[in-house]
Amino acid sequence: MQLKNLIRTVINCFFIVVFVFVILLYLILNIYTPLIADDYSYSLEIHSVGDILMSQYHHYFSWGGRSVAHFLAQFWLLIGKPFFNIANTIVYCFFILLVQYHITGSTKKPNPGLFLALNVFFWFLVPAWGQNFLWLTGSCNYLWTSTIILSFLVPFRKKAENKSYEPHIICSLLWIIPGILAGWSMENSASGVSIALFAYFVLKRYNKEPIKIFEISGSIGFLVGFILLIRARNNLFPGFFGLLRNVVKVGFSFIFIDALILGAIVLLAIELICKRKASIPKYVYGYFVVSLGSVAAMVIPGDFGGRSEFITQVFLIITMLSLVTQVKYFFSRRYITAAEIIIFLFFAQSFYIGSKEIVRGFLFNQAREHYILTEKRKGNFDISVKTPIEISDSHSGMYRGIDIVSNPTDRAYLVHNSAKVAWYGIESLSGIPTVREKDSSLTKSINKFLTRRKAEGLNISDLYTIIYEDW
């Protein structure tokens, strides 16, 4: 008994160490992710919560219905990026814990191995990791709304595990609020969940199971939020032949991008059903339905991949690892350990490259911003700056983000350059395209700064000046 308690204490302590380590690491990556593209546009003329509500009112009737996500983005732009870095780190860890709960169905036994594994899986399997997890606007659209959806589904997961489960009457009635927020989240996310909820109630009806209050209130709220989300988008239907074309395009993209994880799900299901002679839990089917439903929703716009693939990956990973927990390991421990070491080595290399690119993009961005503000202090309000900041790794939030545009005829010039003009309080801002060898100027600039730092008393501003001069 004492040995068992000692092992449990060691596991709990290790989980806390892992948790704190992930928090610190993720916080650092947030700090080294600057404001990007739409962040500047969404911050225009926002000085209070009232301004945000008015902005979202106009946004709803002129662009789209992602009011929950865009309210969050504008709120944190109002509060400030440093506070967002902390909040986003907390939400990220809560998101990972929620994913872990949906896989295991338990919060009583901490699992540091699974917690670490989930971080690794998302790092490798989310195509736009930086834009989904680090970029302020992107994370509010994807990470935060997915966290809302996973939170909304918690009692449904508990109900699937325990037929007698029923929350308190007050909680059950109030579940309409998380339902509204979840339904009003993201088009493909809410579409996938709505299909799963429909199947959930059909199955309950087929089994003649009583419907609980939280199921009714939560689903009504979700339906209300989903209607509010989709009614704001008009003229999306591509026509009959366009729809057929999109089905083929999205279907092939989905299979191509997710062939590995889909193959793992199929093999695990075969192992469980054919060899183990066991049944797959119904909630696992539900998660897989959500992922497929999120793909089906992308048929209308006709594009699948990048940021929009996030919710698909979330539920595919939950599906796969839920099956793993149902299948007992049939490999010897040494093979499992060898596989874990190999995966960790690949992850360590990938994390080093990705983190380096995040810091690199941040330094170039800060160097250019330092130049803009220096010119403004000199009285120059018509500023041209060097571009572009080239990012080669998708784990950076700046990857494929819209930089300062050099072509005045480009629509992005008017939208994004104008937003930055308002942000910096200047009259004009244009880009000067430059060509350089990747990373060479940054390495040279840092070495130059370190060499001269003590002798000349240089500070961080001088580093930014050197980086920009060597750009």
List the single range of 93-97, 105-109, 171-175, 286-290 with lowest mean pLDDT.
105-109
In a domain, 307, yes or no: yes
User: What is the pLDDT at residue 225?
Assistant: 95
Can you read off the two tokens belonging to residue 354? 């990705």
The yes-or-no verdict on residue 328 having pLDDT over 60 is yes
In a domain, 267, yes or no: yes
What whole-number distance in Å separates Cα of residue 343 and Cα of residue 113? 13
User: What is the pLDDT at residue 468?
Assistant: 93
Whether residues 365 and 455 share a domain: the answer is yes
Average pLDDT, stretch 282-290? Answer: 93
In a domain, 454, yes or no: yes
Q: How many domains does the chain have?
A: 2
Q: Which residue has the higher pLDDT, 57 or 337?
A: 57
* Residue written as token pair 């992710």: 33
In a domain, 349, yes or no: no
User: What is the pLDDT at residue 363?
Assistant: 95
Backbone angles phi, psi at 382, to 5 degrees: -115, 100
The yes-or-no verdict on residue 51 having pLDDT over 60 is yes
- Residue range 220-247, pLDDT digits in tens: 999 999 999 988 776 666 667 777 888 8
Cα dihedral sign for 101, 295, 140, 138?
A: positive
The yes-or-no verdict on residue 298 having pLDDT over 60 is yes
Whether residues 293 and 379 share a domain: the answer is no
- What domain range is 425 assigned to? 359-470
Can you read off the two tokens belonging to residue 302? 């006709």
Average pLDDT, stretch 300-306? Answer: 81
Mean pLDDT, all residues of the chain: 89
Average pLDDT, stretch 379-386? Answer: 93
In a domain, 57, yes or no: no
Count the Cβ atoms, other than its own, within 10 Å of residue 336. 11
In a domain, 132, yes or no: no
> Max alpha carbon distance in the chain (Å)?
81
Average pLDDT, stretch 14-18? Answer: 80
User: What is the pLDDT at residue 7?
Assistant: 65
Q: Which residue has the higher pLDDT, 146 or 277?
A: 146
Whether residues 317 and 381 share a domain: the answer is no
Cα dihedral sign for 200, 214, 57, 137?
A: negative
Whether residues 290 and 392 share a domain: the answer is no
Whether residues 387 and 465 share a domain: the answer is yes
Picking from 308, 328, 348, the residue at the C-terminal end of a domain is 328
Can you read off the two tokens belonging to residue 178? 């998380």
In a domain, 180, yes or no: no
Cα–Cα separations (whole angstroms), residue 458 to 346, 367, 370, 372, 449: 38, 15, 15, 20, 8
Q: Does pTM top 0.75 for this prediction?
A: yes
Can you read off the two tokens belonging to residue 207? 């089994």
User: What is the pLDDT at residue 438?
Assistant: 58
- CA-CA-CA-CA dihedral for 23, 25, 27, 30, to nearest 10: -140
Q: Which residue has the higher pLDDT, 58 or 2?
A: 58
Backbone angles phi, psi at 273, to 5 degrees: -80, -50
Q: Which residues contact 328 (CB under 8 A, 6 or more apart)?
A: 276
- Residue range 76-127, pLDDT digits in tens: 999 999 999 999 999 999 999 999 999 998 877 778 888 888 999 999 999 9
Cα dihedral sign for 252, 258, 264, 270?
A: negative
Can you read off the two tokens belonging to residue 11? 């596991």
List the single range of 63-72, 84-93, 310-319 with lowest mean pLDDT.
63-72
Whether residues 323 and 369 share a domain: the answer is no
Cα 177–Cα 183–Cα 186 angle in degrees, nearest 5: 135
